[in-house]
Amino acid sequence: MTLFDISGKVAIVTGSSRGIGKAIAHRLAEHGASVVISSRNAVSCDEAAAEINAAVGREAAIAIAASISSKGDLQRLVAETQERLGSIDILVCNAASNPHFGSMATISDEQFSKTLQNNIISNHWLAQMVAPQMIAGGGGAIIIVSSIGGLKGSAEIGAYNISKAADFQLARNLAVELGPQNIRVNCIAPGLIKTDFARALWEDEATLKRVTSTAPLRRIGLPDEVAGAAVFLASPAGRYVTGQTVVVDGGMTIG
């Protein structure tokens, strides 16, 4: 039981009012952590926190709304978490943006900038903000939810894939810099998961058939099927893993 025990740990999970982030927050709470639910929508955050608390049978989750595009919001998120729950031990950067669906030839400068800002720079900001607390506490775990899109090109979500590839390197670089202070930094790269964020992909029958036809498991994933990787990376079970990308895709990248 102790291998995956994170009792007493404090975790922030961005983009956690729904989808993959919510599933990760739920499983972290289930394994003993106190978890901050965060997204732009305060009502959705409150609802997700209440649902998780009911499921785990304790007051494990609190809600702090914040936009990843605002450095001020993220500073407030970190400060309020520390004030209400204590020093942060686990950071899961799950929130991301994909404002453009189509070729790189048609993406606007504003859309490209937003993609890079929210999917890379905001993760960097958060890592900077929590690292001093983790160092003072003797270590910690930072997890960036990237995507298998960062491993290949795409005619529809090229800018998104570029940002997700950059997240792999962000994790590697942070792992090198923070490893001596016992802070581990890793990525999770999900395949196509049944979330609202990816609805444009899995709702289209032709796309869904193309994606699943060569995948060994012949299906797309569910949010909870990504959460286990986050628990592993955040817990003592993953204490010798850093700078890595854990691919959770049902074999899509090998099909």
Whether 240 is catalytic: no
Distances, alpha carbon 102 to alpha carbons 105, 120, 144, 175, 189, in Å:
8, 20, 25, 33, 22
Q: What DSSP character marks residue 216?
A: T
125, 160, 168, 232: the catalytic one is: 160
The side-by-side arrangement of strands in the sheet containing 34-38 is: 61-63, 34-38, 10-14, 90-93, 140-145, 183-190, 245-248
Q: Provide the token pair at 72.
A: 């001020």
Distance CA 155, CA 103 (A): 5
Catalytic residues: 160
